[in-house]
Structure 1
């Protein structure tokens, strides 16, 4: 198990972890707000119409239907 850190070391660890995150966030916001760079987006596909058949099952699937038809 990890050794417990003294308060000064915990503060230093917090600074080491958060400063790069804050710097990257500030840079991205600067690019967007001051330089006018557009926001990055994921490319989206056009929505497909819903199919009338269940694509996960084979078309002639009788799995489990014979068990229910016997009245069990």
Structure 2
């Protein structure tokens, strides 16, 4: 296990980790708001109707519905 850091070292570690994240976030927001660059999006496929097929449901959800039908 790592040793506990003194408070000053913990503050420095926090600064070292957060400043690059804040810089990257600020740059992306600058590109969007000032330069007009569009937001990046993930390509999406057309969703299939879930009412006709339960293929998208996890296995555990099928098990629960079988138990209910056996008890009736």
By the TM > 0.5 criterion, same fold? yes
**Which residue does 2:18 correspond to in 1?**
18
Distance 1:2-1:43 versus aligned 2 partners, 3 A rule: same
Stretches of structure 2 that go unaligned for 5 or more consecutive residues are: 57-69
Alignment of 1:1-72 (within 5 A): 1-50=1-50, 52=52, 55=55
Greater per-residue helix proportion: 2
TM-score of the pair, normalised by structure 2: 0.67
Q: After the TM superposition, which segments of 4 or more aligned residues of structure 1 sit over 6 Å from their partners?
A: none
Unaligned runs of 5+ in 1: 57-67
TM-score (normalizing by structure 1)? 0.67
Larger radius of gyration: 1
